[in-house]
Amino acid sequence: MVNGIERPLDLLNNSKGKEVLVGLKGEKQFVGTLLAFDIHINLVLDNVKEMQDHEMKRSLGLTFLRGDTIIYISPASTARKKE
């Protein structure tokens, strides 16, 4: 097992306090530090930047994100090299 991930939520747990990239329906992304999540995949991120097609659209600070519109969540540190 990579990083002791046995269930999908283990990855979210491992990513607390780290920067994550969150992909939403409709080609929108949020980048921010993951502070909290629940089983509905509702998230709280800090220092959030809203991106659309790789361009920053808005700076949002602390933000609650509803799980319903999320497609993927990826720790930013793993995007280029495997941890």
Residue 42 sits in the site that holds a copy of itself (CB under 8 A):
yes
User: Between residues 56 and 61, which has the closer beta carbon with respect to a copy of itself?
Assistant: 61
Least gap, CB of 56 to a copy of itself (angstroms): 13
Residue 41 sits in the site that holds a copy of itself (CB under 8 A):
yes
Tell me the two tokens of residue 82.
């495997």
Tell me the two tokens of residue 4.
């002791």
Residue 81 sits in the site that holds a copy of itself (CB under 8 A):
yes
> 41-53 burial, b for 16+ CB within 10 Å, e for fewer?
bebbbeebbbbee
